[in-house]
Amino acid sequence: MIRAGIVGGTGYSGVELLRLLAAHPDVSLAAITSRGEAGRPVADLFPNLRGYVDLSFTDPAAGDLENCDVVFFATPHGVAQSLSPGLLEKGIKVIDLSADFRIRDVALWEKWYNQPHGCPELVDEAVYGLPETNRDAIRRARLIACPGCYPTSVLLGFLPLLERGLADNADLIASAASGSSGAGRQANVGTLLAEAGESFKAYGASGHRHLPEIRQGLEDVAGGEVGITFVPHLLPMVRGIHATLYATVKDKTVDLQALYEERFRDEPFVDVMPPGSHPETRTVRGSNTCRISVFRPQGGDKVVILVVEDNLVKGASGQAIQNMNLLFDLPENAGLMAPAPMP
C-alpha cells in the first residue's frame, strides 16, 4: 500500500482527494494536515466521509508527512513552494494541486501571482501533470505540478488541432464556465448562493491567472507562439466545467471527428462523443472523465470544440490521483473507475 499524505485538507480539492483515496485499492491515507483544524476528525467537517475516513487533521508541524510515500498539496499558492524541498529530500514524491510549479517562467509566475516565487530552483524539475501530453515524464518525476481546472479542459480540447498544426494558432478563443466550487471553500460574498445562484456572469475578462498557464501549455503543443483569448464565467451550480473553444482551420477537408477519435483512442479518461453530440457537465460529475465534441458549423472554417470535465476531479483531485497511479506504476485508472450518477 502506498502511504499518502495531504497538506491542506479543508478545501474542496482536499476533501475530493480524501473521497477518492479512501476508495483507492492501493493507497492508505496516512496523514492530513490543517493548521486551523488540527485535532478535529475529518468526518466531522465532511460528513459524507463518516464511516469512510477515520483520520483527524494534524498540525503540519507534527511530522506525520515524513512517513508518507507521496504528499499531495491541496493548498493556496505559496505553500508547496515552501514545504516541497524538505519532503523531496526525504525521498517523498510531491504532487502539487496548486499553481506553485505550473509556470516555467518564474518572472511570469511572479507577475500573475503577485509575490516572489518561494522555490525557483525546483521549477525546472517539476513535471506538468497532464498525462495526455506528458505521460512518460510523469512516470519518472519527483515533483508533479497538476494543471489548473480551466487549463485541463482548454488544453485537451485544442490538443489534436495544435499538435498537427491544423489551426490558425494566432486566433484561438476559449469561452469557459465553471461551477462555483471552483472558487474554493472560502467565506466570500460573491459566491454566496444568494449572489451567484440563479444568475450568470463572466469574470476576469481582462486577464485570469489561468491564462499564462493555458498559453504555455498550448505553445508546448504547437511548438511556437499562440494567441489565445480566455474568458471564464461563473455558473449557478456547484460542480463542472464547460469549455467552448473556437479556432479557424487552415484546411476544411480534414475529418475532425476522426482526428479527435484517433488522438484520444487510448486515453482512459478522454471520451470523444459521437458526431452532433453536445456533452453535458452532469455526465462527468464526480468522475475523472473528460468528454469532447467537435463541430464545423455550416461547413465553414470555424471549428467549435465542446469540452466538459468535473473541475474537482479531472480538473484537480482525480487528475492528481491519475498522476500518482503513473508515478507508482499502478493501473492508470485505479481508484478512478466510478461513473457519474445521472440525473
Q: Which CB atom, from 56 or from 277, has the smaller least distance to its own copies?
A: 277
Within residues 54-113, the interface with its own copies by CB under 8 A covers none
Q: Which CB atom, from 199 or from 253, has the smaller least distance to its own copies?
A: 199
Q: In the chain, how long is the greatest CA-to-CA distance?
A: 62
- Does 132 contact its own copies by CB under 8 A? no
Q: What is the 3-state secondary structure (H, E, C) of 17-46?
A: HHHHHHCCCCEEEEEEECCCCCCCEHHHHC
Report, in Å, the least distance between residue 230 CB and its own copies: 8
Report, in Å, the least distance between residue 118 CB and its own copies: 26
Report, in Å, the least distance between residue 305 CB and its own copies: 10
* Binding residue for its own copies, selected from 231, 254, 259, 334, defined by CB under 8 A: 231
Report, in Å, the least distance between residue 233 CB and its own copies: 7
Q: Which CB atom, from 85 or from 257, has the smaller least distance to its own copies?
A: 257
Residue 146 is a catalytic residue: no
Least Cα distance to 139 among 308, 297, 326 occurs for 326
Q: Which CB atom, from 64 or from 271, has the smaller least distance to its own copies?
A: 271
Within residues 140-199, the interface with its own copies by CB under 8 A covers 171, 173, 175, 177, 179-181, 183, 185-189, 191-199
Within residues 313-342, the interface with its own copies by CB under 8 A covers 337-342
Residue 151 Rama label (left phi>0; alpha psi -120 to 50; beta): alpha
Sequence-distant contacts of 275-278: CB under 8 A, at least 24 apart: 278/306
The sheet with strand 143-145 has its strands ordered as 27-33, 2-7, 70-73, 93-96, 143-145, 127-128
Report, in Å, the least distance between residue 236 CB and its own copies: 5
Report, in Å, the least distance between residue 93 CB and its own copies: 25
Distance between CA atoms of residues 218 and 222, nearest Å: 6
Residues that contact its own copies, how many (by CB under 8 A) = 91
* Binding residue for its own copies, selected from 135, 280, 328, 332, defined by CB under 8 A: 280
Within residues 30-49, the interface with its own copies by CB under 8 A covers 44, 46-49
Per-residue x/- mask for its own copies, residues 287 to 306, rule CB under 8 A?
Answer: x-x-x-x-x-xx-x-x-x-x
The sheet with strand 290-295 has its strands ordered as 201-202, 228-234, 172-178, 241-248, 302-309, 290-295, 270-272
Q: How far is CA 249 from CA 28, 158, 243, 246, 288, in A?
A: 48, 12, 18, 10, 29
* Set of cell numbers at residue 233: 464565467
* Binding residue for its own copies, selected from 93, 242, 263, 314, defined by CB under 8 A: 242
Beta-carbon contacts of residue 317 (< 8 Å; ≥ 6 apart):
13, 16, 17, 20, 74, 97
Q: Which CB atom, from 195 or from 332, has the smaller least distance to its own copies?
A: 195
Distance between CA atoms of residues 168 and 156, nearest Å: 17
Distance between CA atoms of residues 320 and 106, nearest Å: 23
Amino acid identity, position 174: A
Report, in Å, the least distance between residue 173 CB and its own copies: 5
Q: How far apart are the first and last CA of the chain?
A: 35
Per-residue x/- mask for its own copies, residues 13 to 32, rule CB under 8 A?
Answer: --xx--x--xx---------
* Binding residue for its own copies, selected from 58, 134, 281, 323, defined by CB under 8 A: 281
**Catalytic residues, which ones?**
149
